[in-house]
Amino acid sequence: KFPVEAAQGAYDMGRAYLHMREANYIGADKFFHARGNYDAAQRGAGGEWAAEVISDAREWVQGSSGRGHLDSEADQEANRWGRGGGDPNKYRPAGLPDKY
């Protein structure tokens, strides 16, 4: 069951990333971080694990490219919020289309 949950969680993370790119909406990145982690964690322990690994890897890569530490920590806060079952809409910016 764990491997299936992990694969489903990775799918959820990828879908959130693609939606973030599609929306191209200023200020929405934290919402998509939280939503991807939330959706993945709802799959079970495997999904939660996948979300954490993917989130940590993404922040590590972005941190290595010179991206600001404070922004990376804010992303991680949104990641943890979603993974912990928090409502991703806490990070939804005004005006983001309802389809997301």
| CATH, residue 11 | 1.10.132.110
Q: Is residue 21 in some structural domain?
A: yes
Please check whether residue 68 lies inside any domain of the structure: yes
Q: What is the model's pLDDT at position 61?
A: 80
Q: Structural domain of residue 79, as residue ranges?
A: 2-91
Q: Indicate the DSSP class of residue 59.
A: H
In a domain, residue 49? The reply is yes
Tell how far CA 77 is from the center of its chain.
10
Please state the φ and ψ torsions of residue 96, each to the nearest 5 degrees: -65, 130
**36 in a domain, yes or no?**
yes
Quote the number of domains for the chain.
1
Q: What is the pLDDT of residues 43-78, one digit of tens each?
A: 999 999 999 999 999 888 877 666 667 788 899 999
Largest CA distance in the chain: 38
Please give the C-alpha separations between residue 6 and each of 29, 71, 90, 91, in angstroms, as whole numbers. Answer: 23, 27, 25, 25
In a domain, 30, yes or no: yes
Q: What is the pLDDT of residue 40?
A: 98
Q: Give residue-wise pLDDT tens across range 20-35.
A: 999 999 999 999 999 9
Backbone angles phi and psi of 40, in degrees to 5: -65, -45
